[in-house]
């Protein structure tokens, strides 16, 4: 699309502008820090565009860092998928890929430093006891009986934890802060736990793993991050983020700034819940075209530019929001309207026989690939005596509002002739199967010379030259605007047009190539199947549907 890289400001960019103006920072350094425990979704795209967008516009840097402190849920397959998605969206991270696990040695040293300062201790409370000791939202917690263990003993205990001398769950390392804090996150948070599991990056080197709150701030500081952008639910965690950096020997003090996460109507935006859909085979996989994942949107036909444009349009604020699907759809329509070549495809065919057209003739008509962009060229369209048209484009009788083929009336075949319907056949169920027509040979590329007005235009495909393909039509994944985990899925989210017939030029479509099937919508060739399969990206705006519904 003619991507207008307008740079909408937002409260985060305002903060950065001020930090640059005041000299607090000479340049910006952001980071995108996903946990490799699932595929990225459109909400992550918002974060990617924010972080990498700032780096781009401010001539700063943006790192890609895998926040991999919980090996049980993570996998290299996810790191590869994430790398792929970020690049596909059009961004390149600064330097090598980073992993929180790169810092495990340093993290360990900082933990030891906290113990030496009397600011961390090994605690043997069971998870259940720890919960009781933590108190509630309205009542203060109480100190762990292990809180006053000596520094020397804590050092020895932590070494034993590291050496695998305690069982999983037997003890943890906790920061000594304030069991009465109104910030739950400050009530002596756990900073290390024991896990005897293989890590996708560090193998079996470690059996203790640092927690998010301890890891993230230090990782940011070690990478020289200036502005650490995350979502709203981490607002309380910011107090712990700052506490850790203030209490260890580290120079860099990144500023955490929170913004609201994206919610999209009729879909889910949680890796955990999306994972359930995948695990329970409710969708084909993470890249199912109905999924709000980057991979799913890609397979559906969304372009990187359209997703970047969407991110730009929704803005960045701290307000809780739920964006309408129409907003996303408008972005891809705008891109594809400009860039997708047109083609004709009949999804639900009925036959048209042009009785006054030579049975053996095959006329090679020429049609522009784009109505407003001559530079996109033309393609050949074979015209024959027998054609297919859309079943919904013929009615035996209709009022004047119906601008399509009606018995005894005329209609224009797109890029071809004007035809008139004379009679039709129907099957035992009353479904129309064949319409017998005559054509006006004087109407190719021009209006009838006698001044007859033909109002409608319908699309068609040659019956003998058309090609078969599977066309998949998609609808919203859920029936409710704000679904939760057990909301009902839309049983009609996938429909397959089994009898679709396409114009022959589509035989050359490459995987992922986008087209506008005229009068129908935007489609792209599936990027997985080797068969000829097209996925519907989005329909055309359809003002007729509103009229017809009345």
Contact with RNA (CB under 7 A) among 27, 136, 163, 529: 136
Give the range of 56-64, 163-171, 276-284, 501-509 binding RNA by CB under 7 A. Answer: 163-171
Indicate which single residue of 3, 11, 492, 495 sits in contact with RNA (rule: CB under 7 A).
11
Kindly state the tokens that stand for 148. 């006053």
Looking at the Cβ atoms of 230 and 291, the one nearer to RNA is: 230
b/e sequence 233-245, b meaning 16+ C-beta within 10 Å: ebeebbbbbebbb
Out of 131, 198, 423, 495, the only residue in the binding site for RNA (CB under 7 A) is 131
CB 8 within 8 A of CB 315: yes
The question of whether 546 is a catalytic residue gets the answer no
Write out the binding residues for RNA, residues 54-73 only, by CB under 7 A.
67, 69-70, 73
Q: Is 78 in the site for RNA (CB under 7 A)?
A: no
Closest to RNA by CB, 172 or 494: 172
Specify the stretch interacting with RNA by CB under 7 A; choose among 108-116, 180-188, 245-253, 432-440. Answer: 180-188
Which H/E stretch holds residue 305? helix 304-314
Which listed residue (31, 35, 309, 420) is catalytic?
A: 35
Taking the C-alpha atoms of residue 357 and residue 443, their distance in angstroms, rounded to an integer, is 14
Let me know: does 85 contact 39? Beta carbons within 8 Å.
yes
Query: According to the binding rule CB under 7 A, does residue 134 interact with RNA?
Result: yes
- For RNA, the binding residues in 393-422 under the rule CB under 7 A are 401-404, 412, 414-416
Instruction: Single out the residue of 201, 202, 337, 499 in contact with RNA (rule: CB under 7 A).
Output: 337
Q: Which stretches within 163-236 are classed as H helix?
A: 212-222
Residue 171 in the binding site for RNA (CB under 7 A): yes
Applying CB under 7 A, does 211 fall inside the site for RNA?
Answer: yes
Q: Judged by CB under 7 A, which of 200, 257, 351, 544 binds RNA? A: 544
Q: Which helix (H) or strand (E) holds 88?
A: helix 76-88
Question: Shortest approach of RNA to residue 531 CB, angstroms?
Answer: 26
Task: Confirm or reject binding of residue 546 to RNA (CB under 7 A).
Answer: yes
Nearer to RNA (CB atom), residue 255 or residue 527: 255
For residue 132, the SS3 value is helix
Contact track, RNA, 423-462, x by CB under 7 A: --------------------xxxxx--------xx-----
Binding range to RNA, per CB under 7 A, among 21-29, 87-95, 248-256, 513-521: 513-521
Strand-pair partners of 419 = 411, 439
**With DSSP H G I counted as helix, E B as strand and the rest as coil, what are the percentages for the chain, rounded to 5?**
30, 25, 45
Told to check if 183 binds RNA by CB under 7 A, we report yes
Q: What mask of x and - would describe binding to RNA in positions 217 to 256, judged by CB under 7 A?
A: ---------------xxxxxx-------------------
| Close Cβ partners of 288 (under 8 Å, ≥ 6 residues apart) | 296, 299
Q: Choose, by CB under 7 A, the member of 199, 342, 385, 409 that binds RNA.
A: 342
* Residues present in the chain in total: 550
Q: Select which of 73, 142, 239, 261 is catalytic.
A: 261
With CB under 7 A as the contact rule, the residue among 118, 145, 169, 377 that binds RNA is 169
- The nearer residue to RNA, 380 or 511, going by C-beta atoms, is 380
Q: Which of 134, 271, 308, 525 is catalytic?
A: 271
Q: Is 271 a catalytic residue?
A: yes
Among 87, 322, 366, 498, binds RNA (CB under 7 A): 322
| Cα–Cα distance, 526 to 85 (Å, whole number) | 17
Q: How far, in Å, are 193, 401, 406, 408, 419 from residue 448 at the CA level?
A: 82, 21, 18, 17, 11
| CA pair distance 511, 227, nearest whole angstrom | 39
* Coil/strand/helix, residue 239: helix
How are strands ordered across the β-sheet holding 345-346? 345-346, 501-502, 467-468
Distance separating alpha carbons of residues 31 and 99, to the nearest angstrom: 12
- What is d(CA 344, CA 321) in angstroms, rounded to the nearest whole number? 39
Minimum CB separation of residue 519 from RNA in Å reads 5
Taking the complex as a whole, how short is the minimal distance between the CB of residue 130 and RNA, in angstroms? 5
Q: Nearest to residue 60, comparing CAs of 35, 97, 91, 33?
A: 91
CB 212 to RNA: min, Å? 4
Q: Using CB under 7 A, which of the segments 41-49, 83-91, 293-301, 322-330 binds RNA?
A: 322-330
Residue of 52, 519, 524, 535 interacting with RNA (CB under 7 A): 519
CB of 528 to RNA, least distance (A): 27
SS3 337: helix
Minimum distance of RNA from residue 173's CB (angstroms): 10
Distance, CA of 11 to CA of 471 (rounded, Å):
44
Tokens of residue 528, six digits: 């997985």
* Whether residue 35 lies in the annotated active site: yes
Q: Count residues binding RNA (CB under 7 A).
A: 91
User: CB within 8 A of 215, min separation 6: which ones?
Assistant: 67, 69, 100, 103, 107
Q: Which CB, 321 or 433, lies closer to RNA?
A: 321
Q: Please name the residues in contact with 41: beta carbons below 8 A apart, sequence gap of 6 or more.
A: 269, 271, 274, 291, 292, 293, 294
Provide, rounded to whole angstroms, the least separation between the CB of residue 446 and RNA.
6
Q: Which residues contact 392 (CB under 8 A, 6 or more apart)?
A: 348, 404
Nearest to 502, CA basis, from 324, 316, 342: 342
Tell me which residues in 346-375 interact with RNA (CB under 7 A): 370-372
Which member of 313, 378, 423, 468 binds RNA (CB under 7 A)? 313
Cβ atoms of 309 and 1 within 8 Å: the answer is yes
Among 91, 121, 146, 209, binds RNA (CB under 7 A): 209
Scan for tokens 């850790």, then name that residue: 244
Residue (108 or 414) nearer to RNA, CB:
414
| Binding residue for RNA, selected from 18, 27, 126, 366, defined by CB under 7 A | 126
Q: Which of 312, 338, 340 is nearest to 327 (CA)?
A: 312
CB of 104 or CB of 209, closer to RNA: 209
Residues recognised as catalytic: 35, 261, 271
């Amino acid at each position: 699309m003619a991507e207008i890289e307008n740079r909408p400001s937002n409260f985060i960019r305002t903060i950065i502008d001020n930090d640059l103006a005041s000299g607090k920072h000479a340049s910006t350094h952001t980071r995108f820090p996903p946990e490799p425990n699932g595929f990225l979704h459109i909400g992550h795209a918002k974060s990617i565009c924010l972080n990498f967008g700032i780096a781009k516009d401010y001539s700063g840097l943006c790192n890609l860092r895998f926040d991999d402190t919980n090996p049980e849920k993570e996998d290299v397959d996810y790191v590869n998928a994430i790398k792929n998605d970020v690049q596909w969206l059009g961004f390149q991270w600064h330097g090598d890929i980073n992993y929180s696990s790169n810092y495990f040695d340093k993290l360990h040293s900082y933990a030891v430093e906290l113990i030496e300062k009397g600011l961390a201790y090994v605690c043997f409370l069971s998870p259940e006891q720890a919960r009781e000791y933590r108190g509630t939202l309205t009542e203060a917690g109480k100190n762990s009986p292990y809180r006053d263990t000596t520094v020397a003993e804590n050092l020895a205990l932590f070494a034993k934890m590291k050496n695998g001398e305690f069982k999983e769950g037997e003890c943890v390392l906790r920061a000594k802060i304030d069991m009465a804090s109104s910030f739950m996150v400050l009530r002596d948070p756990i900073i290390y736990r024991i896990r005897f599991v293989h890590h996708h990056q560090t193998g079996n080197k470690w059996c203790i793993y640092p927690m998010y709150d301890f890891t993230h701030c230090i990782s940011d500081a070690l990478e020289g991050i200036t502005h650490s952008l995350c979502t709203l639910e981490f607002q309380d965690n910011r107090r712990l983020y700052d506490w850790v950096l203030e209490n260890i020997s580290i120079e860099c003090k990144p500023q955490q700034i929170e913004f609201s996460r994206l919610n999209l109507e009729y879909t889910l935006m949680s890796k955990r819940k999306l994972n359930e859909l995948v695990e329970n085979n409710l969708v084909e996989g993470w890249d199912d075209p109905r999924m709000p994942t980057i991979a799913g949107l890609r397979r559906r036909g969304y372009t990187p530019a359209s997703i970047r444009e969407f991110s730009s349009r929704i803005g960045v604020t701290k307000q809780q929001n739920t964006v309408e699907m129409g907003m996303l759809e408008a972005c891809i329509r705008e891109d594809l309207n400009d860039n997708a070549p047109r083609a004709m495809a009949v999804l639900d065919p009925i036959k048209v026989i042009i009785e006054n057209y030579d049975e053996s003739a095959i006329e090679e008509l020429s049609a522009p690939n784009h109505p407003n962009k001559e530079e996109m060229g033309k393609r050949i369209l074979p015209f024959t005596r027998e054609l297919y048209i859309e079943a919904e484009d013929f009615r035996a009788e209709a009022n004047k509002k119906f601008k399509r083929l009606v018995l005894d009336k005329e209609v224009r075949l797109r890029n071809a002739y004007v035809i008139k319907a004379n009679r039709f056949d129907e099957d035992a169920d009353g479904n129309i199967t064949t319409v017998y027509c005559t054509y006006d040979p004087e109407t190719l590329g021009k209006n009838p010379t006698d001044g007859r007005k033909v109002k409608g235009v319908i699309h068609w495909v040659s019956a003998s030259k058309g090609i078969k393909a599977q066309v998949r039509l998609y609808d919203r994944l859920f029936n409710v605007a704000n679904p939760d985990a057990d909301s009902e899925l839309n049983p009609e989210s996938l429909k397959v047009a089994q009898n679709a017939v396409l114009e022959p030029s589509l035989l050359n479509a490459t995987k992922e190539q986008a087209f506008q099937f005229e009068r129908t919508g935007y489609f792209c060739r599936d990027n997985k199947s080797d068969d000829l399969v097209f996925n519907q990206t989005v329909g055309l705006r359809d003002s007729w549907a509103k009229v017809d519904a009345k």
